[in-house]
Structure 1
Amino acid sequence: MKSIKLKSFLAFILTQCFIALAFGASHREAPLIAFDPAADNTDVYAFRSWENPDKVVFILNTIPGQQPADGPNYFAFDDRILYEIHIDNNQDGKAEDIVYQIRFKTETRPALGSLNFPLPFVGNPNIPIPELQGITALDGPGSEGLTRRQTYTVTEVRGNKSQQLFEGQTLVAVPSNVGPNTMPNYETLAAQGIYNDSETGVRVFAGQRYETFYIDLGAVFDTVNLRRPVPALTPEEDTNDHINPFGINRFKGFNINSIAIEVPINRITHDYLPADTSTTPIIGMYASTSRQKTRILSNNDNEQTKSVRKFVQVSRMANPLINELIIDTPTKDLWNTSEPEEESQFQEFYKAPSLATALNLIFGLPVPTTPRTDLMQVFLKYPGQPLQESHCGSPCAELLRLNLSIPPTPPENQKRLGGLASPPDPAGFPNGRRPNDDVTDIAIRVVGGQAFLDARVGDGVNFLENAPGSNLTSNGIYKIFPFLPTPTPGRDIDCNGTEASPCN
């Protein structure tokens, strides 16, 4: 395969969109958020829908590393957290032009109105009560065994105006995939959790899905102890998106909680025009989780714990793994609570990324010299916004940027290396991010520079292997909304393998 020059790739990014400087997604990335998995933004995706190309999809994932069999309470969103997706559609770096706010509410529903169980989800064909022989619905008949259920609201905020979407509908979060007795047809059950707002054309889903982020996490965080020396991948392996040459996917078989929202593009662009005719097709976005400042604990059984006062951001994510591998440990918690448009206070981490230094020391390959103004330009700026010499200037915002005018690539033709593939797949990372983009290999090579491109350095995990359920391509890409596969059922986890799996 013809070598792709780093300069050409960076030029591609500057004209199409942007690059992220990290190994993948955000899982337990800072000291404080590691203790708060329900608020941990593990992955954020933004891409033009390949199912409905006139729409754009935003996905926020949370609660990392879900072992499917971890009952009885399994994995729920937190009622006390404000989940938000923020959008900048005028390129001023402030992603508050449109905000989608999602709030959850948990309810206890005794089966048949009076039967209480020690399990939140009840269903078994041997129970001599038809209503409890399996959960087949999220609401109404067939939902009797859903004795603990979460509903939620979606609010669209534009400036000082807010509108609650999906009025008149009860939005139910799809529960964890317990197993075939309790939920005899989980895919059908999950499909009921997709809701349409007829007034705005918005679709939403909230619930458990299969973890699509793949990475040899053990090798990467053992100070980049990859399982092969450089050159790591052969040319044939590097272009094959259907094999995992040597890496072990840490998240194989694990699940995640997802909030996915699909919005008509002309509802997102600044000029309210479709992607192909809009004069402002490039947007920026990030996701955040916030908790209220004060929590009041009660020792009275009749009083619930209360959270009061205004919400404070505890986690944010735009581009993958920035906080893990770009921001130094003493600053990680501060970074999580800061707004993306305040990124100038962290610009020194981008000018001289310690990740590049580590790659040089470990592999003995040369890396680009500092200051890395090229990375600042593509990472913290929109096209045409100049730096102030070697400084970020204003605006300076760490956002996941997406050029909506670029058509989506059909799932069967998507390439894991996106803009780094040959020929490039311009609809993939770093132009936004799709669930199956191999951000690990892309980031290593771009941060490392031309020598790492030539050596095809990567973690050896090239695709999502053995994803469960239907509607999948041969390399694990889910074809339809909400664009993440069916989660692994707790009853039927595969413990036959010796590599990373929920059994180990």
Structure 2
Amino acid sequence: MTAIARRRPGRRGLATLVCGALAAGGLAAAGVSALDPGAARASSHREAPLISGQPQYDNTDVYAFVSPDKPDTTTIVANWTPFEEPAGGPNFYPFPEDAQYDVHIDSDGDAQGDLLYRWTFDTKVKNGNTFLYNTGAVTSLDDPDLNVTQTYDIDLLKLDDQKVVSTKKIADDLPVAPSHVGKASMPDYKKLRDQAVRKVPGGGTSYVGQADDPFFLDLRVFDLLYGGDLSETGRDTLKGYNVNTVALQVPNADIRQSAKQPTVGIWSTTQRKNAKGD
């Protein structure tokens, strides 16, 4: 199974951002959805002008592939917030609470969503008298020195003719992996990330937190095409930057209607309260 990331830029705007993924050989073909009212399409690392000013709502890329460790499952990864400098304290890069982060599934090949996985977030601050993300070395997700924490819910919505016919909560109040403040603050960051990997009902696995941006992008092209010196091409501008990631591993049977329709479309959108498109 080969996975191919594919960004889906469209009409520039802010209200709804769309990003699709394509995988060869069986699961995940690209698709695009527009959500009413006032849906606007865009997907970028910086090139859509309106959303570049609101990066926490900017979905960059989607990946979907048959899981190498569990071939009867599909792993879906969707990324937001491009160009996260790891040392981005003291606020770092929380998921906003006024947004819905959606991954859409087309299971019958009509380029319309049949299922929708929706992530929403809640933020808690233990000590409101300090601006610090952590007040000491953090050794676990429930460490009292981790001052700012986030949790998330995942809802599974079933759709018929783009209308919601049922909603089921498949994750409730799960922890988001904290941003990596540094070795002094988080001496074993891998342990914290591992603690953020959680099982969800029905045989699924979930992770939400920061990850290295896997997309290759050479943005020097905007410097007058390298000043005409094409020998400078091939530099990965995104190297060393993070993104905010949601990753969900689900049984194949959950996202396809039958073995006769083994190809499914997968794409992501972001919805924000009171957003306005152009």
- TM-score if structure 1 supplies the norm length? 0.44
CA contact (8 A) 2:151 2:175 kept: yes
- Provide closer, same or farther for how the CA distance between residues 19 and 158 of structure 1 changes in structure 2, counting only shifts above 3 A: closer
- Distance between the aligned counterparts of 1:184 and 1:260, measured in 2? 24
How far did 1:175 drift? Answer: 1.3
- Distance between the aligned counterparts of 1:47 and 1:31, measured in 2? 31
Q: Is residue 175 of structure 1 aligned with residue 178 of structure 2?
A: yes
CA contact (8 A) 1:136 1:185 kept: yes
Q: How does 1:136-155 map to 2 (within 5 A)?
A: 136-139=139-142, 143-155=143-155
Q: Which letter does structure 1 place at the counterpart of 2:81?
A: I
Q: How does 1:79-158 map to 2 (within 5 A)?
A: 79-95=97-113, 97-110=114-127, 116-123=129-136, 134-139=137-142, 143-158=143-158
Give the match for residue 220 of structure 2.
218
- Distance between the aligned counterparts of 1:102 and 1:70, measured in 2? 23
Give the match for residue 391 of structure 1.
none
- Distance between the aligned counterparts of 2:29 and 2:166, measured in 1? 31
Give the match for residue 283 of structure 1.
264
Residue among 167, 170, 193 paired with 1:165? 170
How far did 1:118 drift? Answer: 2.9
- Provide closer, same or farther for how the CA distance between residues 223 and 53 of structure 1 changes in structure 2, counting only shifts above 3 A: farther
Residue among 68, 71, 74 paired with 2:86? 68
Pairwise CA RMSD of aligned residues? 2.6
Q: Deviations over 1:459-487 (max 9, x none)?
A: xxxxxxxxxxxxxxxxxxxxxxxxxxxxx
CA contact (8 A) 1:89 1:284 kept: yes
Q: Which letter does structure 2 place at the counterpart of 1:44?
A: V
CA contact (8 A) 2:218 2:236 kept: yes
Residue among 47, 57, 62 paired with 1:39? 57
Compare the two structures and name the one with the higher strand fraction: 2
- Provide closer, same or farther for how the CA distance between residues 282 and 187 of structure 1 changes in structure 2, counting only shifts above 3 A: same
- Provide closer, same or farther for how the CA distance between residues 57 and 19 of structure 1 changes in structure 2, counting only shifts above 3 A: closer
Structure label with greater radius of gyration: 1
Alignment length, in residue pairs?
A: 238
Give the match for residue 196 of structure 2.
193
- Distance between the aligned counterparts of 1:120 and 1:14, measured in 2? 41
How far did 1:117 drift? Answer: 3.0
- Distance between the aligned counterparts of 1:19 and 1:84, measured in 2? 15
How far did 1:116 drift? Answer: 4.2
Q: Which letter does structure 2 place at the counterpart of 1:32?
A: L
CA contact (8 A) 2:30 2:265 kept: no
How far did 1:83 drift? Answer: 0.5
Compare the two structures and name the one with the higher helix fraction: 1
- Distance between the aligned counterparts of 2:199 and 2:24, measured in 1? 36
Identity %: 33
Q: Deviations over 1:108-155 (max 9, x none)?
A: 113xxxx843302222xxxxxxxxxx211112xxx1111111111011
CA contact (8 A) 2:61 2:78 kept: yes
User: SS at 1:103's partner residue?
Assistant: strand
Q: Which letter does structure 1 place at the counterpart of 2:268?
A: A
- Distance between the aligned counterparts of 1:106 and 1:40, measured in 2? 19
Q: Deviations over 1:179-234 (max 9, x none)?
A: 0111110011101001102x311111111111111222112x346548547xxxxx
CA contact (8 A) 2:101 2:118 kept: yes
CA contact (8 A) 1:227 1:247 kept: no
User: SS at 2:171's partner residue?
Assistant: coil
- Distance between the aligned counterparts of 2:61 and 2:178, measured in 1? 20
Q: Which letter does structure 2 place at the counterpart of 1:212?
A: P
User: SS at 2:157's partner residue?
Assistant: strand
